Amino acid sequence: MLILCTYNNNGVNMMEYENSTKKRIREVALKLFNEKTFQQVTLNEICSASGVNKHTFYYYFKSKDELLKDYYKIPSELTSYDLTTILTADSYVEQLWLLNKNFLDFIDNSGISIVKQLIIKNLKEDVGTFKISEEKKEMLKVQCEIIRKGQANGEFLNKTDPEVLVVLLKQVTHSTAVTWSLKNGDFDFKTATRYLYEMTLGVAPQYRKVKEYNILGIL
């Protein structure tokens, strides 16, 4: 494959320059979104903080909304390191928790303003952020099998059909993320989700990480 690189008069590779500029604009914008809100941050602010003009901004992005395009798909892929960590976890409880860690980290690291905007975006137009892809369906089958094994050896005391429990866990995780963003992050998202996860599955006491939690505090 032939790759053409364009250089300016000073010998600077413009492809690399453009990529670094685009990256800087996005990083600056995301920082501003989390410091304020998506709605409050103006295009002028993004350009000023990024050191570019509007012409340069529109060269890379059609709109402010497009800055979040990379966030439309929540990462679900597992690396070989992830798989090793999951498979060597000392209980089915931890294996199941780690399988959902990508979503939990994504929400926690994205920040309140971005999560809110993703919810708004998907309500206005389904861009697939919360869709269950074929890849994710395969992952749900793995989760069902882990629950069956955990039920068999007494880690999960809730004996409901694993498929039902997997759906409940997905609903619990998503609804907690929405509540967390609407309440402007005034509770620990991961701790609350872990507590609800353990209660939903009826995790045996010796395997619980969050034994007490004021769950009504998230309402």
pTM for this prediction: 0.78
Q: Is 68 exposed, middle or buried (0-12, 13-18, 19+ CB in 10 A)?
A: buried
Q: For 67-112, what is each residue's pLDDT tens digit?
A: 888 778 777 777 777 888 888 899 999 999 999 888 899 898 888 9
Predicted confidence at residue 82, as pLDDT, reads 80
Q: Within 13 Å, how many C-alpha atoms sit on residue 209's CB side?
A: 13
Within 10 Å of residue 89's Cβ, how many Cβ atoms? 16
Low-confidence ranges of the chain (pLDDT < 70): 1-18
Instruction: With CA atoms as reference, report the closest residue to 73 among 126, 9, 21, 28.
Output: 126
Are 110 and 98 spatial neighbours (Cβ–Cβ below 8 Å)? no
